[in-house]
A and B are shown apart, each in its own frame.
Chain A
Amino acid sequence: KAGVTQTPRYLIKTRGQQVTLSCSPISGHRSVSWYQQTPGQGLQFLFEYFSETQRNKGNFPGRFSGRQFSNSRSEMNVSTLELGDSALYLCASSYGQGELSGNTIYFGEGSWLTVV
Chain B
Amino acid sequence: GNSVTQMEGPVTLSEEAFLTINCTYTATGYPSLFWYVQYPGEGLQLLLKATKADDKGSNKGFEATYRKETTSFHLEKGSVQVSDSAVYFCALSDRGSSYKLIFGSGTRLLVRP
Contact = CB atoms under 8 A, between A and B. Distances in A.
B97 interface: yes
Interface in B93-107: 93, 95, 97-106
Interface residues of A, number: 28
B42 interface: yes
Interface stretch (B14-22, B43-51, B72-80): B43-51
B44 A90 contact: yes
A42 B102 contact: no
Interface size class of B (residues with CB under 8 A): 20 to 34
A99 B32 CA distance: 8
Contacts, number: 70
A56 B95 CA distance: 12
B103 A90 contact: no
Contacts of B43: 4, 90, 107-110
A33 B99 contact: yes
Contact of B100 (A4, A56, A104, A108): A56
A43 B89 contact: yes
B99 A106 contact: no
A98 B99 contact: yes
B93 A98 contact: yes
Interface in A47-105: 48, 50, 55-56, 58, 90, 92, 94, 97-102, 104-105
Contacts of B45: 107
A109 B93 contact: no
Interface of A: 4, 31, 33, 35, 42-43, 45, 48, 50, 55-56, 58, 90, 92, 94, 97-102, 104-110
Interface of B: 32, 34, 36, 41-46, 49, 51, 89, 91, 93, 95, 97-106
Given A99-B51, A104-B46, 8 more contacts: A45-B102, A90-B44, A97-B98, A99-B98, A100-B32, A107-B43, A107-B45, A110-B43
